[in-house]
Amino acid sequence: MTKTIAFMPRRPGSTRSEFRTHYETRHAPMAMPLFPFSRYRRNHLPEDAGEPGFDCISEFWVSSLEEIGELMAGDAGTTMREDERRFLDQERTRAGVSEPVLTDGDAGDTILLLTDEGGDRSALTDACRTVGASLEFLTSLSDQALPYDAMIRLSGEQPALPDGWKKGPCLKIMPSETPPDQLRGGAA
């Protein structure tokens, strides 16, 4: 199983509320029958979250990146891109692959984003394990860099960051996860 993520900013001139409504009532339901997601979660930012450069971190669990690439190159991708223009700033969207390291704290309602400045991954893993937080390392899917190198999902206290890891935004999120029985790949 592979997990991909996308940092998704709203279209200029729209509000987070408009973005979230379109995403949840039109875009996500449109994607569900087209793509073989095993899990599909959108982590929306509330209106008062400031401007970190995105409005939602979407998470997609898939069995094959190649299959998703083929679908995106065909009619399904055309359909999704056309709808994205209605609510999403496509130019600023950044997508990557997640390397989940710790997943026990997967249900937290706060996301802490980190930049790697020469940090030790093992030390960060140990720090997250100490507070029961989930941890994922992120790698870009394209030549466009992701804004962050690691994502920690918290349900309690923040870990003490080891040297070489720079704290980015710590964001309260409004998670919305599609039930598995509504996903094309969820029954597998």
Q: What is the CATH number of the domain that holds 81?
A: 3.30.70.100
**Amino acid 188: pLDDT:** 42
Q: How confident is the model at residue 19 (pLDDT cuts 50, 70, 90)?
A: very high
For range 101-129, the mean pLDDT: 92
Per the structure, the count of domains in the chain is: 1
* Three-state DSSP class for residue 178: coil
173: tokens are 């999120």
Backbone angles phi and psi of 48, in degrees to 5: -95, 20
The mean predicted confidence, pLDDT, of the chain is 93
**Amino acid 184: pLDDT:** 78
Amino acid letter for position 160: A
For range 131-138, the mean pLDDT: 95
**Amino acid 160: pLDDT:** 96
For range 14-37, the mean pLDDT: 95
Q: What is the pTM of this model?
A: 0.93
Q: Which residue has the tokens 């964001």?
A: 171
For range 117-130, the mean pLDDT: 96
pLDDT tens profile 150-188 = 999 998 889 999 999 999 999 999 999 999 888 876 544
Residue 186 counted as domain residue: no
What is the domain range of residue 170?
2-181
Residue 188 counted as domain residue: no
Residue 36 counted as domain residue: yes
